[in-house]
Structure 1
Amino acid sequence: MRLLLMSDTHLPKRARELPAALLAELAPADVVIHAGDWVDTATLDLLEARSRRVVGVYGNNDGPALRARLPETARAELGGLRLGVVHETGSARGREQRCARRFPDLDVLVFGHSHIPWDSTTPSGLRLLNPGSPTDRRREPYCTYMTATAADGRLTDVTLHRLPPRTA
């Protein structure tokens, strides 16, 4: 099962549209995961229309229309993995311990908020992934998203994709 992970799209404030390279990943993805801060409902509508399945949550910048359609925390079993999605996990310091305590029943937790890519595993085995942002790199050198494969209870082929700089 091919997964496409993104967060913090912030449309249309940070970009007018999602990058073409990211949109090209929708067709091969079995599940699109969005960890919040969509900002506009049009992005949710687009992903729902062009994806087989969307698992998403709202973030701190998402208003009432998105909060009415999305949960604060989402859970799904994908390829034998217990996956969770949340927007914020707090500061980087102590993140593994906090998340392991908060989500003891998960194998993978996808989160956003910082726009900083993250990939770590807690001592208890919980894999933490932040795909960064495909539209707002903040202090990072690139805008990013992730892809991965979930099968037979394992997460493999986790890849951080760097997007080329926007010209407009």
Structure 2
Amino acid sequence: MELLLTTDTHVPKRARRLPAQLLAAVEAADVVFHAGDWVDEATLDLLAARAGRLVAVYGNNDGPGLRARLPEVAQAEVAGVRFAVVHETGPAQGRERRCAERFRGADVLVFGHSHIPWDTTAPGGLRLLNPGSPTDRRRQPFCTYMTATAEDGVLSGVTLHRLPPRTAG
């Protein structure tokens, strides 16, 4: 199963629209994970329409409409890999330990909030993935998203994709 991981899209506040490269990757994926901070419901509707399967949560910048439609924490099993999705995980220091305790039944945690790509493994094996943001690079050199493959209980091929700089329009 081909996976796409994204978060912190912030449309229309940080970008007018999602990058074309991201939308093409959404359509190519079997499952799309979004770890919150959509900002508008139209982006949720767009991804829900284009994704084969969407696993998503709300973030701290998401208002009542998105919070009514999405959970704070989502869990899903894909090809034998157990995923948890949440927006915020707290400070970087101690993140692996905190998340391993909070998400004991998961193999992989997809999270957002910082806009900083992250890929580590906690003691005990929980893989923590933050795909960064496809629309707001903040202090990072590029806007980003991730892809991966899940098969027979194994996550592999985790790749961080850099997006080209946005152009006006």
RMSD over aligned CA atoms reads 0.5
- Asked whether 1:11 is paired with 2:11, we answer yes
Which stretch shifts more, 9-18 or 24-33?
Answer: 24-33
Say which SS state the counterpart of residue 27 (structure 2) adopts. Answer: coil
The alpha-carbon deviation at position 58 of structure 1 amounts to 0.2
Q: Which residue of 2 aligns with 1:98?
A: 98
- TM-score, normalised with respect to structure 1: 0.99
Q: Which residue of 1 aligns with 2:115?
A: 115
Map 1:1-168; keep pairs closer than 5 Å: 1-168=1-168
Say which SS state the counterpart of residue 104 (structure 2) adopts. Answer: coil
Say which SS state the counterpart of residue 93 (structure 1) adopts. Answer: coil
The alpha-carbon deviation at position 26 of structure 1 amounts to 1.7
Separation in 2, partners of 1:136, 1:10? 8
Q: Deviations over 1:2-33 (max 9, x none)?
A: 00000000000000000011011122100110
Separation in 2, partners of 1:29, 1:163? 17
Structure 2 residue runs without a partner (length 5+): none
Separation in 2, partners of 1:43, 1:98? 30
Say which SS state the counterpart of residue 147 (structure 1) adopts. Answer: strand
The alpha-carbon deviation at position 112 of structure 1 amounts to 0.1
Separation in 2, partners of 1:18, 1:41? 13
Structure 1 residue runs without a partner (length 5+): none
Separation in 1, partners of 2:26, 2:125? 29
Separation in 2, partners of 1:117, 1:148? 14
Identity %: 76
Say which SS state the counterpart of residue 26 (structure 2) adopts. Answer: coil
Q: Deviations over 1:45-83 (max 9, x none)?
A: 001111111000000000000000000000000010110
Say which SS state the counterpart of residue 27 (structure 1) adopts. Answer: helix
Separation in 2, partners of 1:99, 1:50? 30
- TM-score, normalised with respect to structure 2: 0.98
- Aligned residue identity for 1:131: P
